[in-house]
Structure formats: structure tokens, C-alpha cells
């Protein structure tokens, strides 16, 4: 799960974006404290977006749901289009960065390190065989395991037993306290006081992120806002 400060740094690397439908451009994007400022191309007016609203939107919805319609539930003002464009930009940049990183790792495992002085490849064949063997083990283990990794996000899953969902996502300040407060008693007391729905076995949902104490955030079709459930109530779809 990405942290709030890391999220702000990602936005800080963005200078300009194009709207999802390609009809508008937003430039001079800056992050000042908890506010994003930008201009619409060809206009001098500075507009603003609340970073907390953006962060909540980004964390709680899978990328396919990050659109201007859904943004109206999260982003205040008339800045849904630039907000969505920025979120897609940082998502795609992060995805590309991760692909590049793992591409370099796989290349080095497959072909070995290049000796800069002699140009020789060191240990390529053996490393390649070991790497492919390890990958095969991981794939085989994963195929028999329906559990969802703590660090995974946006995983399609199913409720495997009757359970309850907790918390009202509209209370953003209280939600942030839940996410970052290490006080286990406060966390459990909040959940106990905020049961908001009954979830049924077989109901489809999306695993959004891990919280703590085996609790996770999920998004279901039956609830407008994401809810908290115990992780052991889920399995991969």
C-alpha cells in the first residue's frame, strides 16, 4: 500500500497531463502542502485539488473505476477530469517503472552480469536455469493457494463466508486515523461501533489493501463506499 507522502511525491513528478478523453490538457501541476495546483491549457486561472481526496480515491478504487463519474463521489469542486488524469498518469508511470525494474532483474538472471573490461557474460546459463526453476515453484504454489498476499492490491475475490462489513468511508478524517493509528484498542473499538452491512457468501468484491490485525479494505458492488472485513473471509475469485 502506498503511503500518503509517497503519493504526494509521485504527483510532484507530474508537470502536465491530458484528460482521459484526450480533449483537454492540464499544466503547471504543483503540490503545495496538501493541495495540488494546476492550470488548464490556454488559461491563466490557477485551480486546486485536495490531495487527501485524491489519495482516498486512489487507494479505495481499482484503476478501472478511476473515471470522472466515480470521481464525483470523492473529488469536490469542478476538477474531476484533471484529478482522474493525474491519477492515471501516476498509475501508469509506476506500472512502467515496476516493469522496467523487473525487466532488468530478469535480464541479469537470464544472461548474467557483463564484465565491463572484457565484455564477457558471467554465469548466465546457470543463473537462468535457477531463476526459471524458482519461478516454476512459485507458480505451482500459487495455483494451489487461494490466499491473497498482504502487499497485493486490487485483486478480484469472493466472500467465502457470511460476515459483516465495517466503517463509513465518507468520514475521511476518522478513516485516516484508522489507517495510521497504531493503537489496537482504538482500532477495534471503532470497528465494533461501525458495522454498516452484511456480506454474503459468494459475493464478489475487489481486495483493495491490507490494514492491520488481519483486517483489509474491499470494494463490493452492493456498497457505494469500500468497507473493512477480516482477511480470512476472502478468497481469490
Domain boundaries, the chain: 4-92, 112-145, 155-236
SS3 101: helix
Angle of CA points 50, 56, 60, to nearest 5°: 155
Mean pLDDT of 36-64: 90
- Kindly indicate the confidence band of residue 177, based on its pLDDT and cuts at 50, 70 and 90: low
Eight-state DSSP code of residue 64:
G
Condensed to tens digits (0 to 9), the pLDDT of residues 207-220 reads 888 877 788 888 88
What is the pairing mode between strands 17-18 and 163-166? unpaired
Condensed to tens digits (0 to 9), the pLDDT of residues 90-128 reads 888 877 776 655 455 544 554 454 444 444 444 444 555
Q: What is the pLDDT of residue 108?
A: 53
CATH topology of domain 155-236: SH3 type barrels. (2.30.30)
Condensed to tens digits (0 to 9), the pLDDT of residues 40-52 reads 999 999 999 999 9
> Which residues, including other chains, have CB under 8 Å from residue 160's CB and lie 6 or more apart?
201, 233, 234, 235
Q: What is the pLDDT of residue 158?
A: 92
Statement: the pTM of the whole predicted model exceeds 0.85: no
Amino acid at each position: 500500500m502506498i503511503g500518503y507522502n509517497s503519493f504526494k511525491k509521485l504527483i510532484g513528478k507530474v508537470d502536465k497531463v491530458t484528460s482521459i478523453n484526450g480533449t483537454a490538457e492540464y499544466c503547471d501541476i504543483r503540490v503545495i502542502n496538501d493541495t495540488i495546483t494546476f492550470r488548464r491549457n490556454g488559461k491563466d486561472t490557477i485551480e486546486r485539488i485536495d490531495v487527501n481526496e485524491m489519495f482516498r480515491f486512489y487507494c479505495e478504487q481499482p484503476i478501472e473505476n478511476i473515471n470522472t463519474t466515480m470521481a464525483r463521489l470523492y473529488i469536490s469542486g469542478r476538477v474531476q477530469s484533471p484529478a482522474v488524469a493525474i491519477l492515471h498518469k501516476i498509475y501508469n508511470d509506476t506500472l512502467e517503472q515496476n516493469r522496467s525494474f523487473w525487466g532488468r532483474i530478469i535480464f541479469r538472471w537470464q544472461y548474467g552480469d557483463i564484465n565491463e573490461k572484457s565484455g564477457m557474460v558471467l554465469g548466465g546459463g546457470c543463473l537462468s536455469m535457477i531463476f526459471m526453476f524458482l519461478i516454476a515453484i512459485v507458480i505451482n504454489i500459487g495455483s494451489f493457494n487461494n490466499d491473497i498476499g498482504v502487499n497485493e492490491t486490487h485483486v478480484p475475490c469472493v466472500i467465502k463466508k457470511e460476515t459483516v462489513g465495517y466503517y463509513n468511508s465518507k468520514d475521511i478524517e476518522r478513516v485516516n486515523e484508522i489507517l495510521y493509528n497504531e493503537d489496537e484498542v482504538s482500532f477495534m473499538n471503532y470497528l465494533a461501533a461501525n458495522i454498516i452491512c452484511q456480506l454474503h457468501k459468494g459475493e464478489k468484491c475487489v481486495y483493495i489493501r491490507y490494514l492491520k490485525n488481519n483486517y483489509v479494505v474491499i470494494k463490493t458492488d452492493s456498497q457505494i463506499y469500500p468497507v473493512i472485513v477480516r482477511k480470512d473471509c476472502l478468497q481469490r475469485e
